Every structure is written in C-alpha cells, then in structure tokens.
Amino acid sequence: MEGMKSLIRRGAVVGVAVFMTACASGPKKAEDSAIDLAKKVVMESVPLGGMAVQAVVSAGGVEDRGSYKYNAQLFCQSNAQALSRAKENFAELCALKGARFDGQFCMRPQAQDEVLFSAQFESRGTGGCYRLHTSEAVTIGSPDYMKFLVGRGYETAEVRANKRAAADVAAAEARATNQAERQAREAREMARLQTELPQMRKRGARVCQTESGRAVVYRGYVEDFSDEKLKIAVAEAFLPNVPGTQPGDFRPSTLWDDPIRWRIC
C-alpha cells in the first residue's frame, strides 16, 4: 500500500514537471510573474524522474518582503544550452513588459532605477549547478528593493552617472597628458635640430634615422642641402641591437628629406 502511495506521489511530481516544462517554453504574457517563470525554467532544465523530484523540493517558497518578492532555487542544467535558454526566457518576459534584460536585471529603458525583476544564476561550483535568485517588484523603485538589488550587483543610475563622469575625467586627463608629452617631445626635437642643423648642412655629414614602429636604423651621408631639405644618400640599414644584421627589404637610395627626421650619428 505504501509503495502504491509513493508511486502516486512520484507520478504527481512527474506530472507537474511535464506541465511546467510545457509552460516554460510556451507563450508568455506581460503580466506573467518572473518568479513563476523561474520555477518553470528550473523544471525544464532537469530530466523527469529523481531530478524532477529534487527540483520540486528545492523550489522552495516565495518570500513576500513587502515592496518585492524573492525566491531561490537550485538550477542544474541538463545540457550546454539550458543556461542560455533559461536567460532567454527571462529576456522574452522582460521584453513583453516593455523593458530591457541585461542578463540579470529587467529595467525600463527610459527610466532611472525602475527594475521590474531580477534573475541571477549564482554558480555552485564545477558541477554545472547554480542557485537561481529571482526577485520581482511589488513597488517599483522602492528603497528596500533598491537596497536588495544593489546587494545583488545592481548599479543605480547615480552610480552609473558617477562612473561615466569619472571615466570622462580620466579620459580628459589622459588626453591632456598625451598632448603635453607630445609637445615636450616636439620641443626637445626642435632644440636638438637647432643644435645639429649646422653640422647636417655639410656635405659628407653622417646622419641616422630610426624608423618609427620597426626599430630599424638607417644611416646615410649628406650630399646636398637646400633651405628646407637635405639630400641624403641612404647607404645602410641595421637593427640597433644587432648592427651586423640588415633588413632583407633594404636597398640603398638617395632622397630629399626634412632634417627633423634625421640626426647626427
């Protein structure tokens, strides 16, 4: 007799699993509860039988916390796509409610801190199991619900604005630093050029250039000059740390170039 009762109870649980599995992927409505959906996707993620029994037992009750409701369940996906599909279910429900799901929080896009629900999959180790924390607002934007969401990783509009402002300040400071460094380099190069230019304007002067980005040194000799240019016979090229090694694509050449690009060597 007890065996029969156990079989009936087991059959009832499996029947619940079948019913909830069908519902999880079925049509959704904007008024649907995120917590109810969480229970359905948990059932959808496990095979029927013993794991279904465990899922029903682990579903637990819904905590009414006044301005929001909360539920936690054990979620063990049966395949690699189950976690992704579970999140897609929440994204679909969020879209039906006219909001945007960022992978954890369902937020109204044009409002500040109007979170309709949250669904967080917290890893429980290497066994492929998660604790699914689901909450949904009774009073949207209430201080209690905001405090709970912040504890779950939510960044309020004020925090996001402060981060953007800090990032803008940091970017502006970086641009200013880069500009100052560039101006300082240019000033040093102009000072060097003023010192070396009289020597460069001598036929036979040996000059060098380090090609930007390649760490190749070119060495040549001044053949002629004008008011603005030097005529340089580029005779050789080598790697600065291995003077005897010549790049394979180098060919001697003669060119007119700006003195700022060369230096006495």
Tokens of 20: 């909830």
Whether residue 45 is found in the same domain as residue 150: yes
Neighbouring C-beta atoms of residue 154, cutoff 10 Å? 20
Whether residue 200 is found in the same domain as residue 126: no
In a domain? residue 178: no
The amino acid at residue 88 is: E
180-211, pLDDT tens digit by residue?
A: 999 999 999 999 999 999 999 999 999 999 87
Whether residue 35 is found in the same domain as residue 151: yes
In a domain? residue 44: yes
Q: What is the pLDDT of residue 102?
A: 93
In a domain? residue 36: yes
Which CATH number covers residue 43? 3.30.980
Whether residue 134 is found in the same domain as residue 204: no
Last residue of a domain, one of 133, 156, 179: 156
Distance CA 256, CA 220 (A): 12
Whether residue 36 is found in the same domain as residue 149: yes
Last residue of a domain, one of 156, 175, 207: 156
Q: Could you tell me the mean pLDDT of each successive run of 10 residues in the chain, 265 residues long?
A: 40 38 65 94 66 50 94 79 89 96 93 94 81 95 95 92 94 96 92 92 93 81 93 90 76 93 91
Whether residue 149 is found in the same domain as residue 53: yes
The CA-CA-CA angle for residues 155, 113, 26, to 5°, reads 95
6-35, pLDDT tens digit by residue?
A: 433 433 333 333 333 334 556 789 999 999
In a domain? residue 14: no
In a domain? residue 49: yes
Whether residue 37 is found in the same domain as residue 152: yes
The amino acid at residue 262 is: W
Backbone angles phi, psi at 27, to 5 degrees: -60, 140
Backbone angles phi, psi at 87, to 5 degrees: -65, -35
Q: Are strands 230-238 and 263-264 parallel, antiparallel or unpaired?
A: unpaired
Structural domain including 240 reads 192-264
Whether residue 199 is found in the same domain as residue 136: no
In a domain? residue 184: no
Whether residue 152 is found in the same domain as residue 196: no
Q: How many domains does the chain have?
A: 2
Quick check: 28 and 92 in contact, CB under 8 A? yes
In a domain? residue 6: no
Which CATH number covers residue 214? 2.30.30
In a domain? residue 54: yes
Last residue of a domain, one of 132, 156, 180: 156
Distance CA 145, CA 114 (A): 10
Task: Tell me the pTM.
Answer: 0.59
Whether residue 145 is found in the same domain as residue 257: no
Q: What is the pLDDT of residue 119?
A: 97
Distance CA 122, CA 124 (A): 6
Q: What is the pLDDT of residue 90?
A: 96
